[in-house]
Chains A and B, each alone.
Chain A
Amino acid sequence: MLSLGSGGGKPVKPSFVSYVTPEEIKSTERETSRKEKHPDLLPGEVVFCSTNPVLKYTQDDVSQRGIFGTLVCTNFRIAFVSDEAPSEEQAQLFKNKLYGENDIPLTCVDHIYGGYDEKKKLITGGLVRNKYPSKIIIHCKDLRVFQFSLTYAKEEEAKKIFQGIIHHSLEPKSLKCIFAFSYCEKATATPEIHRTPRTVMFDTVEDWTQEMKRTKGNCKVVSANENFSLSQKLPQFFIMPTAVLDEDMTKFEGKGLPIWCWSHHSGCALFKTASLPLMQEDGYSQAYKIYMERMLNAVAQTHLYSVKTEELSDTLPTIQDIQQSYSRFKQFFLIDNTTEFWLSDMKWFSSLENSGWLDIIRQCLQKAVEVVECLEKENTNVLIMEEAGSDLCCVISSLVQLMLDPYCRTLAGFQSLVQKEWVAGGHSFLDRCNHVHQKDKEQFQSPVFLLFLECVWQLLQQHGPAFQFSETYLTVLSDSVHVPVFGTFLFNSPYHRATVMKNDSPQTQRGPLNCPEVWDWSLQFERKAQDLFTNPLYAEKPKQDKGARRTYRPKHQRQLSLPSSAFKTPPKKGFFKEETDSLKKMLRVKRISRWLHSPDSAQASTREFYEAWQRKPLDYHSLILPCLDGPAMRVWMQRYLRWIHEVQIFGGGAITVMSKLADLVGEVQELRRELERQACRADSNHQRAAASHRSSVRLSSSFPFATSRVWSFKPAIPTSLLQSLMITGGLADQDDEDGETLGVV
């Protein structure tokens, strides 16, 4: 008998029939578990419906069984509570305090499929009434996949829970139905622990003033829009070039107004703006053109009278492109069963390429490097624009700052950056996430913020020691977007937030509602778990040059800068040839994309810039640039592979090294504290506390995620190997020893 080993010769047809046949289930098992269990409810959480017994398949377990329990739907989540008492040894280090591993926050539901007999059907809001499926398959936005069998529950109950889940997680609803609003009404405000350095929220004049000071910028802080009296599009406080006249602020509804993002130590700065698409030559566009020239002039005056502009939509993908690409990409990780996994493994690289996701990430990084080059090498002001001014502008401006400004690579600095560019910057989180499932908003749904995090992850994996935060932090942040508890990701703009929070407060005496911010990590994780957010590779910059800092005009000597002599690029000729506009002649106004005639030469130029940077000794507390070559662009393994059993490396993965490092960091910190104690109180004789070691525990590559899952320790043996390599033709058919015949003895 010839076989392909334990994987089986022929791939088993993907099946949605339950793995456990009813006969397999001991009847006693079912009877003892009649009592419904509910999850520990959060403040403001209300149970809508629940059903028992429901079988949750453990698709990650090769035994292909399931566990019985209660399926609950609340205004916060879909929860599955096992009938079995949770075993002690599964105590998780990285437990989320808001929802468990078997809970799905309603806004985290991506797609729901119904298993009808052998077929898998996508459930959209409508078709629910007629027939409920025997199986519900839920794909989550954090890439978990759940499969529940409803066949063991009473028909009425099964129907009710199914309809409840569909209704609450897929049907359109008003923003006020999002759990955050019930939660913040009931939750006692947690005493906010002010950790230093704190996250800057950028909702006060002081925050902006401070940021201007920090970067030594020379623009002006505007507070004329306090309470949105001037404009609902602009934030309450922002910074613009000093030369912009106050009366210019609200023309064209804030479009074209350069909003300051960040100042380079040379004095030049990065600005972003919402641009008005000019369709035809009418009086309005004429007026806008004149206005824009004035704005460019103002930007140029910030430093050395030069400015480069970049219309991001000219070269970068649209939000729809981003959405489509990500939809294709995420499918590779929403795996229903082993057979499907190994089938998709065969064409992995080309599928990955066809999704275009990595290429979109590369394009964003590439654009950011182009902007960095202008600021760092040419010391030119840069104005980036796009229609809304709050999507790709946010991606590019944040990435530029991450590369140039080491502060943005600290935990507090990064969170402040997100607040500055994304939250205060008015990224339409609500529309982009479509938390409320509005059909007419579906076209605006797009994972722009995730795209940014993906870019950050690429930087992090290439230049680990430059970042204070870890991969785990980024993964958790990307998950938190879909946890409907935080105000951070719920609104379309600061104005939107202010109006929703103010008007809808039922008891006015209580004042405006106050949703917690995602940055209050203690809401989700214990202190110990939060340790995993810090990157053990990161070392703070040695503080030896305290004196040197106070010297005259230190900003030009700061380590941020590369001496311009490092670049021996011959000056590019022919910038001005086609610029007949008188203003542009006078100013050094260039468009990045026009200046670099074609995308190819843009790449060539950034390549040169990259190579010049690469030749210099690497300083993690200075400029970092990403390598954009094919082999350097990677898949964010932790985020995408963490729930897939087949790819877990037991006792392996990069985490084994990282946890070793983290232990050592802990040990060294403990020693230092001990030394300080001893040095202060010389007579006390403390015993050195033994540093806790995590290494002894066997970790899997998915650590710290999915730790409570029972993984099998059998190796995953690829199936469907034969199909993968149908190499035919002369060579394959030959024998190893070409031309030799076997000596048949």
Chain B
Amino acid sequence: MDPLAEVPLLPGEERVTDKDLIYMCPFSGAVKGKVFITNYRLFFKSTDVDPAVTLDVPLGAVSRVEKMGGATSRGENSYGLDITCKDMRNLRFALKQEGHSRRDIFEILFRYAFPLSHAMPLFAFLSQEKFEENGWSVYSPMQEFRRQGLPNDKWRITFLNQSYELCDTYPTVLVVPYKATEEDLRKVAAFRSRGRIPVLSWIHPENQAVIARCSQPLVGMSGKRNRDDERYLDIIREANGTTNKLTIFDARPNVNAVANKATGGGYEGEDAYQNAELVFLDIHNIHVMRESLKKLKDIVYPNVEESHWLSSLESTHWLEHIKLVLAGAIQVADKISSGNSVVVHCSDGWDRTAQLTSLAMLMLDSYYRTLKGFQVLVEKEWISFGHKFASRIGHGDKNHADADRSPIFVQFIDCVWQMTKQFPTAFEFSERLLVTVLDHLYSCRFGTFLYNCESVRDTNEVRTKTVSLWSLINSDQASYINPFYATESTRVLYPVASMRHLELWVTYYIRWNPRIRQQQQSPVEQRYKELLALRDQYLKKLEELQLSDSAPHLPNSTAPSPASPTQRVTHLHTPF
């Protein structure tokens, strides 16, 4: 049989090349097989082992392709290709050391894995996939603000940024204090890094406290002040009628905030902002996070660090960073719950700020814990507010060492996962959704995570030329549903940000390791479904019995149901 027949091709996906080679599997050793390269994926299938070893890697997940060994290298399987992936694995292929056997495949891989570096389109623009649902209609800012009860007498919607003039990395629709004029906004924009002014992200339905997000103020070395900015923050503070101070959460460590003054940034000084208290949340920058995840990969791939697992894990600091992000979001949510408005920023307000606001919103608003609501949350706080996905992920770009890359969004999803672990019944979606989101964060199959901000997305006509990831998910919702979900609309979820409860997300970070048992379905879920089925079966039987009872009672009659009562009882020995 032609093994090619088994390569799952997406509409719009085209075969580019294939080659016989050896996959140096870190778990089952060297396996001979054939690799197929398409414009979307790398597919490998072994030919000599049973069960077959297969690989299915979207080229978007490739971070780096290297040649290993040379034509004269000694040793078996020392000549070939090394592929570093963004999704916590590396692939190594060995080829025959003759006739530049790897040249073609290397070049093809290099071109198709990094299309933007070769003036080629990303696969999302070539895909012909069709889905029942249109994911692009999931998020409409107006609809979402209306859901929050906005505009109201304190908050208005402004279209000042309609053509991205106020801020080119912000969305077009913004919610700002009613009292602030368009002129005020322009003045404030001048004092905020990249014009990212404080705007409303979320408003508490009862106490009207708000989460506002922005970038750092341009204080600089000289400690500049801006009356408009100061007044603007005060308007935010008093909008819900409290006399309490406004809390400004600066996500950075104090020292970094100070250091930013040298490049013109800084933080809100206490003299200038007398009605505000400033709290530093000590979350580190994108470079620290990138190195942390790199260290984590070192201890889990290909083999899980054997001795000293716990101290190795600790030395990556990954979970400590998760703890800090969660602890920050808890503080934001706590302030809001007690009726104080908060302003959250970091340096530019598109990395740590997005993490904090979206996690706090997840804690405060049960809507975001539904399948649809979570999509809205990601669309709103991450995509529309200009988290620089293109720079952080490096879609289709060959510069694997680019200092702009950083797993900030992965870290956010990890935090969400930690919350779902701590509150297993509070989220409508399952772990599978989170893993799928992360897979397509890299895959370039959908337009959802492409580009750095809305304005660039508009220029590239993403919404018309590509498919949304939510189309895939919403066309198959049942696969992403958490069966234990129990709606509880008014509850604030406070996860415990203690190392005692934070766990490594093994089923994501170590999922390539076959020793980590990947169950199709968790045993808990399976048991739950079995019990539900059993209950329905019993209810049905009970109903039948009651029906036959109400029928004219004839002893030993040939009643409609052929089963006698005793026979029925024997059916009931169902497992417990």
A contact residues vs B (CB 8 Å cutoff): 1-6, 341-342, 345-350, 352-354, 358, 464-465, 536-543, 607, 610-611, 614, 618, 620, 627, 629-631, 633, 635, 637, 641, 644, 646-654, 656-657, 660-661, 664-665, 667-669, 671-672, 674-676, 678-680, 682-683, 685, 688, 695, 701, 714-718, 721-722, 724-725, 727, 731-739, 741-745
Contact = CB atoms under 8 A, between A and B. Distances in A.
B213 to A, nearest CB: 15
Contact of A688 (B310, B493, B542): B542
B259 A735 contact: yes
7 A-B pairs with the lowest CB-CB distances in the bound complex, closest first: A630-B309, A715-B494, A348-B499, A349-B314, A353-B310, A671-B538, A744-B264
A7 B545 CA distance: 62
Contact of A742 (B263, B284, B493): B263
Interface stretch (B2-10, B67-75, B319-327, B378-386): B319-327
Interface in B517-553: 517, 519, 523-524, 527-528, 530-532, 534-535, 538-539, 541-542, 545-546, 549, 553
B576 A661 contact: no
A715 B334 CA distance: 7
Nearest to B406: A736
A529 to B, nearest CB: 20
Contact of A734 (B285, B324, B500, B572): B285
Given A349-B313, A539-B530, A664-B535, A718 B524 contact: no
A542 B553 contact: no
B535 A667 contact: yes
Interface string B486-522: 1010010111111111001010001000111101000
Nearest to A734: B287
A241 B468 CA distance: 70
A717 B422 contact: no
A57 B449 CA distance: 53
Interface residues of B, number: 105
Contacts of B573: 542-543
Contacts of B347: 735-737
Given A611-B515, A683-B549, A715-B330, A1 B541 contact: no
Contact of B304 (A352, A629, A737): A629
B527 A679 contact: no
25 contacts: A2-B254, A2-B270, A3-B277, A349-B313, A349-B499, A537-B523, A629-B309, A630-B309, A630-B313, A637-B500, A650-B494, A651-B493, A653-B422, A656-B425, A660-B486, A664-B532, A668-B531, A674-B542, A688-B542, A715-B494, A716-B496, A732-B256, A734-B287, A735-B259, A745-B195
Which among B424, B425, B498 has the highest number of chain A CB atoms within 10 Å? B498
A484 B310 CA distance: 37
A675 B310 contact: no
Nearest to A685: B549
B407 to A, nearest CB: 13
B352 to A, nearest CB: 8
B147 to A, nearest CB: 24
Contacts, number: 279
B132 interface: no
Contact of A732 (B194, B284, B497, B549): B284
Given A353-B311, A672-B572, A714-B334, A465 B265 contact: no
A650 B288 CA distance: 32
B317 interface: yes
A721 B288 contact: no
Given A657-B524, A671-B542, A614 B287 contact: no
Nearest to A695: B486
Nearest to A744: B264
A2 B270 CA distance: 8
Nearest to B525: A657
B194 A661 contact: no
B510 A631 contact: yes
A607 B194 CA distance: 55
B270 A679 contact: no
B424 A654 contact: yes
B575 interface: yes
Interface in B257-294: 259-260, 263-265, 270, 277-280, 282, 284-288, 291
Contact of B218 (A345, A731, A742): A742
Given A674-B542, A737-B404, A742 B291 contact: no
B172 to A, nearest CB: 21
Contact of B288 (A637, A644, A678, A727): A727
Interface string B430-444: 000000000000000
B284 A727 contact: yes
A717 B346 CA distance: 20
Interface in B189-239: 190, 193-195, 218, 220
B496 A725 contact: no
B403 interface: yes
B256 A733 contact: yes
B566 interface: yes
A657 B311 contact: no
B279 A3 contact: yes
B517 A2 contact: no
A664 B528 contact: yes
A743 B220 CA distance: 11
A641 B285 CA distance: 32
B323 A718 contact: yes
A652 B309 contact: no
B310 A736 contact: no
A630 B425 CA distance: 28
Given A353-B311, A647-B500, A743-B194, A736 B331 contact: no
Contacts of B497: 716-718
Contacts of B568: 675, 679
B351 A721 contact: no
A649 B288 contact: no
Given A348-B500, A679-B569, A736-B348, A669 B576 contact: yes
A630 B576 CA distance: 33
Given A353-B310, A660-B484, A721-B282, A741 B264 contact: yes
A115 B284 CA distance: 40
A358 B305 CA distance: 15
Contacts of B287: 731-732, 734, 736, 738
Contact of A647 (B194, B330, B498): B498
B278 to A, nearest CB: 6
Contacts of A685: 546, 549
Nearest to A728: B255
A10 to B, nearest CB: 13
A3 B517 CA distance: 45
A736 B220 CA distance: 17
Contact of B524 (A464, A714, A725): A464
Contacts of B310: 349-350, 352-353, 358, 630
Contacts of A715: 330, 333-334, 494
B51 to A, nearest CB: 9
A136 to B, nearest CB: 27
Contacts of A738: 287, 403-404
A652 B517 contact: no
Given A641-B500, A652-B493, A676-B569, A540 B575 contact: yes
Nearest to A463: B523
B331 A541 contact: no
B500 A736 contact: no
Contacts of A610: 515
B278 A630 contact: no
Contacts of B516: 627, 629, 631
B282 A671 contact: no
Which among B347, B488, B497, B519 has the highest number of chain A CB atoms within 10 Å? B497
B502 to A, nearest CB: 9
Given A675-B568, A737-B347, A738-B403, 6 more contacts: A346-B320, A348-B499, A352-B310, A661-B524, A735-B259, A739-B403
A173 to B, nearest CB: 37
Contacts of B515: 607, 610-611, 614, 627, 629
